Amino acid sequence: MILPIGPIHPALKEPVRLKLKTQGERVISAEIDYGYVHRGIERVMQGKTWQKGIFLAERVCGICSYVHTQTFAETFEKIAGEKVPLRAQYLRSLTNELDRIQSHFIANSTYFKALEHETLFMYMLHLREPVMDAIELLTGNRVNMGWNVVGGVRMDAEEKHLNSIYQIITNLENEYDKYVEMFDEGPLVSLRSRDVGKMSKKDAIKGRAVGPIGRASGLKHDVREDHHTYQDEFDWKVIWRKEGDNYARTMNRFDEIRESIKIIKQIVENIPPGDVRTKIDIPAGYTDWRNEAPRGEVSYFVETNGNLIKNISIRTPSIMNIDVCGKYMLQDVATVADAVATYASVDPCVACTERVVILNEKGEKKEFDGLHNVKYLK
């Protein structure tokens, strides 16, 4: 029988519809329907000045709001052919890594909640709290930080702020392993995660899985590898795993947090002095830019006339990850509860996925085939 879950359902954070094809308790296959919270934010941005656009870009996604502003700013800096001062690049990376840590914590906590392991769920949020405090200390805000501008960051970080961030991160590092162990060695949690919702490397490539989801299935790729700051300045490595199940996805995030802590320590120790903001003149132009959001690759395509945003197209990671979840992970899952946990393990973010709906002449939904379509959408 078909078991519909959602769009509004206590097991889901955000409105999407899971249609599970079941045989008894066993889930044979699944289909995921989205389109319930479409907001058309790209259309809102068109015709606005780029100075305003960055605040709107921040509102594409709630949890990984930071990386959207960074990508937006870097796209425009690429159009102008300039790089921001090194100190600003360091501060951006610092915020990016803090944001990644908190996002991974909340992703894992929702996964544990889907497993009904509320102790670990609360522990994860408990660990996340000081990281949020660090973000607040640095930027002045907790979620939508308003911290990036095209040309650098808003304000400079003082020695005392960096020191307290270092303190927070060291504390986190010391406490952290205990909780990872709880998941790793706890017989029940592991049992419900290992070998559930498996996705092979081949499927991950076919479905274009990105971020921790792809990396947990053996795709050894992280967009940070191509980013100039990460390339030149920091010593870090890409975390990846072979198993491709719920356990691997969760552990992959845990390990990435450890890597982020490493990067943050390097940043605080080596941050160079200098400006944090430069004046940038934006010429007319068109370009694209990619960055690694906590959930995977986010790319921006921007066309501007130097003053206004003419066209903008944003691709967020969740669109592929939710897709591969329905296509490859929710096949032959032992129980419905496991299917819900599998869905939670991909860290789906429906709000950032749904920004544009393309209809054909008859008003039917159309597959998205690149920017070409959007360009002539008036």
Single out the segment in contact with other proteins by CB under 8 A; choices: 92-100, 218-226, 276-284, 364-372. Answer: 276-284
- From 182, 238, 308, 356, residue interacting with other proteins (rule: CB under 8 A): 308
Q: Is 159 in the site for other proteins (CB under 8 A)?
A: no
For residue 226, the 8-state DSSP code is G
CB 155: neighbour CB atoms within 10 A?
14
- From 22, 29, 46, 144, residue interacting with other proteins (rule: CB under 8 A): 144
Indicate the residue among 12 and 268 with the shorter CB distance to other proteins.
268
For residue 129, give Cα distances in angstroms to 23, 105, 124, 219, 254.
Answer: 42, 10, 9, 31, 16
Helix axes 86-114, 246-270, angle to 10 degrees: 150
Q: Would you say 113 and 121 are in contact if contact means Cβ atoms under 8 Å apart?
A: yes
The string over 162-183, giving b where at least 16 C-beta atoms fall within 10 Å of a residue's C-beta and e elsewhere, is beebbebbeebeeebeebbeeb
Q: Is 305 in the site for other proteins (CB under 8 A)?
A: yes
Q: Is 277 in the site for other proteins (CB under 8 A)?
A: yes
In angstroms, the CA 147 to CA 155 distance is: 8
Indicate the residue among 153 and 267 with the shorter CB distance to other proteins.
153
Q: Is 138 in the site for other proteins (CB under 8 A)?
A: yes
Which of 357-366's residues contact partners 24+ apart within 8 Å by CB, and which partners? Answer: 357/35, 357/38, 365/35
- From 16, 149, 293, 320, residue interacting with other proteins (rule: CB under 8 A): 149
Q: Is 139 in the site for other proteins (CB under 8 A)?
A: yes
Q: Is 367 in the site for other proteins (CB under 8 A)?
A: no
- From 4, 25, 52, 118, residue interacting with other proteins (rule: CB under 8 A): 52
Single out the segment in contact with other proteins by CB under 8 A; choices: 294-302, 304-312, 334-342, 369-377. Answer: 304-312
Amino acid letter, 315: R
For residue 362, the 8-state DSSP code is T
Contacts of residue 10, defined as CB under 8 A and 6 or more positions apart, other chains included, come to none
- From 31, 33, 133, 203, residue interacting with other proteins (rule: CB under 8 A): 133
Q: Is 78 in the site for other proteins (CB under 8 A)?
A: no
Q: How far is the CB of 153 from other proteins (least distance, A)?
A: 10
Q: Which residues are at the interface with other proteins (CB under 8 A)?
A: 48-49, 51-52, 55-56, 133, 136-141, 144, 146, 149-151, 154-155, 161, 277-281, 305, 307-308
